[in-house]
Amino acid sequence: MNFLLDEVARATLRLADAGVASPRADAEELAAFVHGVRRGQLHQVPDSDFDALYWECVARREAREPLQHITGRAYFRYLELAVGPGVFVPRPETEIMVGWAIDTLRAMDVADPLVVDVGTGSGAIAISIAQEVPRSRVYALDVDPEALNWAKRNIAASGHGDRVIAQQDDMRSALPDFEGRVDLLISNPPYVPTEGAERVPPEVGHYDPAPALWAGRDGLDAIRELEGVGRRLLRPGGCLAVEHGDGQGIDIPRIFPEELGWRDVRNRKDLARRDRFVVARRADE
């Protein structure tokens, strides 16, 4: 067991020197991946020489390839998702927004909530809602066919394919049959400003798909479009939740003004107490 810990410690130092944000956690996750266990089960792995595969994986992470691309898996709330090149890797911060959405749906006086997840990527948001709000029906939209293939794969594996419908569509014209009928619209849209491209970590800028990242000079272009999508699709009293980036919280509420029928516009914080997503409600008729 000491040998295993020594090797993980060596890998941790290498990853820290390479600028990896969470070197110990990543070194342990790679060890767990190589040994076919979860991180919490590493203590069960007997002393033995590490396979060369471990150091191959460490070298890839050292070169700033995303951890999830190396292991092929990402964890989100109660899900283990397949991810890789061509799909945005879901982040823990988004789990807070999904938790708000789930609580909001449970509190609605609606037997079978209708939900739209715009820019579904891996399907993390849509599948989580379907799993935790059992009578919900979720439409998972994405314009990127490669990302949508990952979503379909994860939806099929989740067992919720009867209630999560993935489709390639432009949010501006999608789902015309549901205009004014949707109970909740949720999105983790692109919100990285093109102005700040040089400050984006390699794991993001070199590996996450461009359509999931860039949103104009100030990073708000997609969110401005989502405002119109929300007005078109949400029923009176329906709710919206949209993630945004650091420092954007002060500008987001102005995109959802009262004169356009938005009520209760609020910024919500992530676990680091930073503004992370905006919520709003359509005015009742």
Q: Does 190 carry a binding-site annotation?
A: yes
Residue 4 binned pLDDT confidence (cut-offs 50, 70, 90): low
Distance CA 221, CA 115 (A): 22
Model pLDDT, residue 185: 98
**Is the separation of the CB atoms in 233 and 225 below 8 Å?**
no
Residue 177 binned pLDDT confidence (cut-offs 50, 70, 90): very high
Residue 1 binned pLDDT confidence (cut-offs 50, 70, 90): very low
Residue at 52: amino acid letter: A
Q: Does 202 carry a binding-site annotation?
A: no
Residue ranges with strand state E in the chain: 73-76, 79-82, 114-118, 137-142, 164-168, 182-187, 234-243, 262-269, 275-282
Q: Does 123 carry a binding-site annotation?
A: yes
Q: Does 104 carry a binding-site annotation?
A: no
Q: Where are the domains of the chain?
A: 2-63, 85-282
Instruction: Give pLDDT tens digits for 31-77.
Output: 989 888 888 777 777 666 557 889 999 999 999 999 999 999 999 99
Q: Give the CATH fold of the 85-282 domain.
A: Rossmann fold (3.40.50)
* Sequence-separated (6 or more) residues with CB below 8 Å from residue 46: 1
Residue 6 binned pLDDT confidence (cut-offs 50, 70, 90): confident
Instruction: Give pLDDT tens digits for 128-137.
Output: 999 999 999 9
The percentage of residues in the chain with a pLDDT greater than 70, rounded to a whole number, is 96
Q: Does 121 carry a binding-site annotation?
A: yes
- Mean predicted lDDT score pLDDT of the chain: 92
Q: Does 142 carry a binding-site annotation?
A: yes
